[in-house]
Structure 1
Amino acid sequence: MARQLSPVGLDFVGTAPVRLVFARQLSAPPAAVYRALAEDVTGWTAWFRAVTLCRPTADGAGREVKLVGGGHLHETIMATDPDERYAYRVDTVNAPGLRALVEEWLLTPAGTGTRVQWTFAADGSAPLRALLKLARPALGRSFQDAAGRLDKRIAANSSQS
């Protein structure tokens, strides 16, 4: 059953009770990384192993996401700053304990590539907050794997152009 989460704003990224921040440098330039994140929404399943479905909704203002393990989310896109930032808020989820969740992807030029920083900002019940903090290493590995696969996907797509 879908649960409605709090409609927090972008400032939640900096104030959330649980903030998990991960970063990795990619060889792809910021414009290519941004396109993969914000414009090729259905392509997320090809590089983020935890994602089994990702499709735009509300004429591109939202997304529907399904995760390995049965997670099902509906999101609102909150920031689309080309080549710099992509952020979204989870509006409904079928998981218990979560009260609010915003994810932000910051892109910073780094030489000829991009430094990608992913912030997972959440609030929920005390047991969920504790669980998320314990899950930090696993989420970090998931991000590192996804970022590496994204970089390879972008490189493969650009060599085919």
Structure 2
Amino acid sequence: MRMPQLGLIDFSYIILICFSSSVCEDVLMDFDGLVAAQTSLGTAAIIVMNKQTDVVKAIARLIMFYKHESCGQCTPCREGINWMNKMMYRFVDGNAKPAEIDMLWELSKQIEGHTICALGDGAAWPVQGLIRHFRPELEARMEKYHQQKAALKN
């Protein structure tokens, strides 16, 4: 039986994500095919997530790992990953505004390519993949959170 697949994460030193099931089902697991899908094979160590996985929470946990692993030497990594971590955990609950999705995207772009080592890139790319492929999920969480908050006030 084939498990419905939500996405996969390539756990090379630098992490890129192939999220949408349409991409994951059609892409060849070779270096050229994955580069064309805006991801990579890296060391070929991967985590596959099925549709039961809370992908927002999974990426938030991944960013927490990067926050912990940052040596703190360069500002984009030290400060940027800390802010991405705070924002991602708010996104898990839905306690954010849709405009913050774009803020998170811009933050990830300010980290990417601006650090001494590749750790900053490794933290930025999963967030970019999440936004690129799961923006509707983020927006739906935010809407649900704010509806529940409004209902409690009434």
Q: Same fold (TM over 0.5)?
A: no
Between Structure 1 and Structure 2, the one with more helix by share is: 2
- Between structure 1 and structure 2, the one with the greater Rg is 2
* TM-score, normalization by structure 1: 0.30
